Structure 1
């Protein structure tokens, strides 16, 4: 993985991905006590940054591999990105999804034309084993949600945009807080910023109880989470940091930040109130870090990602009901 791969992905994605805005609000600045800018990837196609990596990976395959079909596993955002990108290349797509994934994500993925295979992650079913069996049986190409070089390259295109948008605003020094599961988004952005905005530092943000990246960075080795479910932030729950992503973040990232589900819900309400955007819980953890963990942030300027906005209506209503009065 290097900047050349990210720039090559940028060329393949040109005309397909949206250049999402960098938003700001004086009210959010006041809460955080510093300047806060929000990279709104919730406005990307399929409602999350995952479309970047999916299109990058599928567009890099040869025609025969695309014709045979794609397989992926995801709780929903990678699933939707793969489904749309596969449809655009007229490639069959099989998506392995946990049966407790948000219904919005399952239905959106199905609507985009993918075949869905549900598994019981709470009961301990192994998605990797299911994927390996289906891949072998149907000769499908597996595109992992973060441990794939072309996926990381695609996610890194968001980092190129952040660097250019920040430069246009005269920003040359900032912490860039990125919602983090396995680390594909954070590592891609970190590589892009290393080249185009060397004064910026990436910091991964995760939900409490699923902070494997933060703990791994501190320990200097890949650690596992004790559980695989139990947070509203389903989009960024992973067992352990990626084999490809961890070394990148170990070299380039600052300490990880960890927020509660309640803080993520509060950040969702604040994003809606002050930016007029819809975030899902996992997509709001970076903003929650900037707003509620200011003592852990030294930078005068913070850039955060809202990585996704695919939230079920009841969860969004819960965020507004719990936190709306303080927004």
Structure 2
């Protein structure tokens, strides 16, 4: 299990390389949900998502031999962007394996950063290819099955704990789940710094790796069909499963349609431009607030904003939301 010592060490390591993103009260989202809402705006992070934290922590931990070999990662979008940009900043050669379903703009950004892009037919085959490339000598920077990466993501929770006043402490914090690295790190940080706070996870239908693992008693492969490719891990890891099963209240699952509506609501009411991987927080937060009842105060980790107006409009039109 990742502890607060590892997370504090990661925070010290990545300081100066990443942004300490704001934690703010949101009057618009408070009015929308009917309970006080605090948002951790990780979409303002370097590379547009929290992934820069874990990628930077890992890159800075590598030996000279590992750096010289070059790094490789698998990604539905944000991890690849983070690794490509941060590797370029640290003068490390990077290869990113992505499914063809990844957002076109994400693939473009990875290429523009100077990384080599390898496209596959899906996330399953992307994970298979990245394993082969690791075995051929590249240094793997896994998006979630790595304690250094999880500690890096946990700095989100560390900052959230430090930035909220005791009187404004959320009763419940809602975090999106793909492979589980972000929620594992945040839950570990909050367990140490804000132990009264409950942590809830949220997935989209067709990207239910963590909820399936919790039902099965351990990681299992899952079929992927969600449009939210940034949450579409074919399985969680034992490491992330262990953290979530021990530290997270429950994992909620919402339809893609509601995740897209959540992105529209975040723009309209929260005044932030977020991808559906963050949009899914709002329907989940409504359920959490209803379950908790009087006295609920919600924290939202707005994990990323790497979607284009055309992509979001296209999804909204598909679901009849515009």
Question: TM-score scaled by structure 2?
Answer: 0.92
Unaligned runs of 5+ in 2: none
CA distance in 2 between counterparts of 1:56 and 1:277 reads 27
Give the number of equivalent residue pairs.
Answer: 318
- Is 1:316 aligned to residue 312 of structure 2? yes
Find 2:236's aligned residue among 219, 241, 247. 241
Find 2:196's aligned residue among 191, 195, 199. 199
**1:222-255 residue CA offsets vs partner (Å, 9 max, x unmatched):** 3432x22x32211101122221111111111001
Q: Is the alpha carbon distance of 1:215 and 1:240 closer, same or farther for their aligned partners in structure 2, counting shifts above 3 Å?
A: same
Q: Is the alpha carbon distance of 1:38 and 1:172 closer, same or farther for their aligned partners in structure 2, counting shifts above 3 Å?
A: closer
- Is 1:93 aligned to residue 89 of structure 2? no
Query: Which residue in the other structure is 2:246 paired with?
Result: 251
Query: Which residue in the other structure is 1:180 paired with?
Result: 177
Secondary structure of 2:253's aligned partner: strand
Question: TM-score scaled by structure 1?
Answer: 0.91
**1:85-137 residue CA offsets vs partner (Å, 9 max, x unmatched):** 21121010000010121101000111111000111117xx6223312322233
CA distance in 2 between counterparts of 1:266 and 1:258 reads 15
CA RMSD between the two structures: 2.0
Query: Which residue in the other structure is 2:132 paired with?
Result: 133
Q: Aligned ranges for residues 151-162 of structure 1 at < 5 Å? A: 151-162=149-160
**1:245-273 residue CA offsets vs partner (Å, 9 max, x unmatched):** 11111111001111111111111111111
Deviates more, 1:239-248 or 1:178-187: 239-248
Secondary structure of 2:280's aligned partner: helix
**1:203-236 residue CA offsets vs partner (Å, 9 max, x unmatched):** 11100232231243345333432x22x3221110
Whether the aligned pair in 1 keeps the contact of 2:259 and 2:279 (CA below 8 Å) is: yes
Deviates more, 1:151-160 or 1:125-134: 125-134
**1:50-105 residue CA offsets vs partner (Å, 9 max, x unmatched):** 00000001101112211221010001100011111211210100000101211010
Deviates more, 1:242-251 or 1:311-320: 311-320
Q: Is the alpha carbon distance of 1:39 and 1:173 closer, same or farther for their aligned partners in structure 2, counting shifts above 3 Å?
A: closer
Query: Which residue in the other structure is 1:150 paired with?
Result: 148
Query: Which residue in the other structure is 1:273 paired with?
Result: 268
- Is 1:67 aligned to residue 68 of structure 2? yes
CA distance in 1 between counterparts of 2:23 and 2:283 reads 17
Whether the aligned pair in 1 keeps the contact of 2:78 and 2:306 (CA below 8 Å) is: yes
CA shift, 1:293, in A, is 5.9
Query: Which residue in the other structure is 2:34 paired with?
Result: 33
Deviates more, 1:208-217 or 1:84-93: 208-217
Secondary structure of 2:312's aligned partner: helix
Q: Aligned ranges for residues 211-222 of structure 1 at < 5 Å? A: 211-222=208-219
Deviates more, 1:303-312 or 1:315-324: 315-324
Deviates more, 1:127-136 or 1:37-46: 127-136
CA distance in 1 between counterparts of 2:254 and 2:54 reads 25
Whether the aligned pair in 2 keeps the contact of 1:232 and 1:282 (CA below 8 Å) is: no
Q: Is the alpha carbon distance of 1:199 and 1:265 closer, same or farther for their aligned partners in structure 2, counting shifts above 3 Å?
A: same
CA distance in 2 between counterparts of 1:136 and 1:250 reads 31
